[in-house]
């Protein structure tokens, strides 16, 4: 009987799958280049970005780490921290970080998780064609520990770090002003830096918005970014 219970429980754990947008970030204890950390507790009250890379000492990953560090203060200005991850041992991370400092003149200040594969499997990061590598993934987690965005990239395509920074800025506007963010914000082709107002189910009330806000129609209204 006990064995059957175990089997059912194990199947449920295996079938649970990777966390999705809107889920709580899984609680885990991780070894990093800055010591042991408990996630998401270590970043309580802050936004944080967990990003995985295929492997240390690889060309594309090196350019990404350089770019993340160059913008690290901009992330921190948004109350957002960074933490990297790959299936590499801690000494490999440390030697790679040392190489980046010695050869590129940049000191990586954010922690990097050393994973045996357990964390990558939990987060659904194992590359389907290369079982020992993680995909390039980005998890954006809010101060309540909720996953707000997930991005995936192939191994051969490096991430646009400015886009990730833009997303965090956008989430700040969404939280602060209860709005939606248009395409390519803050340089949208239609409304520039404008922010989209959520639609109102009552059509008559929505039509009155045009007296106060700029509208293309009752369901597409926005207001200037600077007039809040």
41-91 pLDDT, tens digit each: 999 999 999 999 999 999 999 999 999 999 999 999 999 999 999 999 999
Question: Who contacts 170 (Cβ-Cβ below 8 Å, separation ≥6)?
Answer: 181, 185
Using DSSP bridges, classify how beta strands 112-114 and 80-86 pair: parallel, antiparallel or unpaired: parallel
Tokens 């194990």, residue located = 10
> Could you tell me where the DSSP H helices lie in the chain?
2-15, 59-70, 72-77, 90-104, 118-123, 161-177, 203-207
Sequence ranges of the chain with CATH classification 3.40.30.10:
2-159
Give the pLDDT of residue 32: 98
- Check if the beta carbon of residue 162 is closer than 8 Å to that of residue 71: yes
Sequence ranges of the chain with CATH classification 3.30.1020.10:
178-228
| Domain spanning 2-159: CATH superfamily | Glutaredoxin (3.40.30.10)
CA distance 47 to 146: 9
- Check if the beta carbon of residue 45 is closer than 8 Å to that of residue 143: yes
CA distance 191 to 170: 15
CA distance 143 to 87: 26
Question: Who contacts 115 (Cβ-Cβ below 8 Å, separation ≥6)?
Answer: 30, 85, 86, 87, 88, 134
Q: Which CATH class is domain 178-228?
A: alpha beta
Give the pLDDT of residue 11: 34
Give the pLDDT of residue 17: 67
Tokens 């950390």, residue located = 37
The model's pTM is: 0.88
Supply 195's token pair.
């922010």
Ramachandran assignment for 192, one of left (phi > 0), alpha (psi -120 to 50 degrees), beta (any other): left
Give the pLDDT of residue 1: 38
Going by C-alpha positions, the residue among 74, 49, 42, 14 that lies closest to residue 147 is: 49
Taking 50 as the pLDDT cut, the residues of the chain under it are 1-15
CA 220 to chain CA centroid, nearest Å: 28
Residues annotated as catalytic (active site), given as ranges: 61
Give the pLDDT of residue 226: 66
Going by C-alpha positions, the residue among 96, 113, 102, 107 that lies closest to residue 70 is: 107
CB atoms within 10 A of CB 69: 20
Give the pLDDT of residue 81: 98
């Amino acid at each position: 009987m006990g064995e059957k219970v175990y089997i059912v429980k194990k199947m449920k754990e295996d079938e649970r799958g990777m966390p999705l947008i809107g889920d709580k970030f899984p609680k885990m204890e991780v070894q990093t280049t800055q010591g042991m950390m408990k996630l998401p507790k270590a970043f309580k009250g802050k936004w944080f970005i967990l990003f995985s890379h295929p492997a240390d000492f690889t060309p594309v990953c090196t350019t990404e780490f350089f770019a993340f560090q160059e913008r690290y203060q901009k992330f921190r200005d948004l109350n957002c921290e960074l933490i990297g991850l790959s299936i590499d041992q801690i000494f490999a991370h440390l030697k790679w970080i040392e190489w980046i400092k010695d050869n590129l003149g940049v000191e990586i200040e954010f922690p990097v998780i050393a994973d045996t594969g357990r964390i990558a499997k939990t987060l659904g990061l194992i590359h389907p064609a290369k079982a020992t590598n993680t995909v390039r993934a980005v998890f954006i987690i809010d101060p309540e520990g909720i996953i707000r965005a997930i991005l995936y990239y192939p191994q051969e395509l490096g991430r646009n770090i400015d886009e990730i920074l833009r997303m965090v800025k956008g989430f700040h506007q969404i939280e602060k002003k209860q709005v939606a963010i248009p395409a390519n914000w803050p340089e949208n082709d239609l409304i520039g830096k404008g922010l989209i107002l959520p639609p109102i189910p009552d059509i008559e009330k929505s039509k009155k918005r045009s007296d106060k806000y700029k509208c293309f129609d009752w369901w597409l209204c926005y207001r200037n970014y600077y007039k809040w």
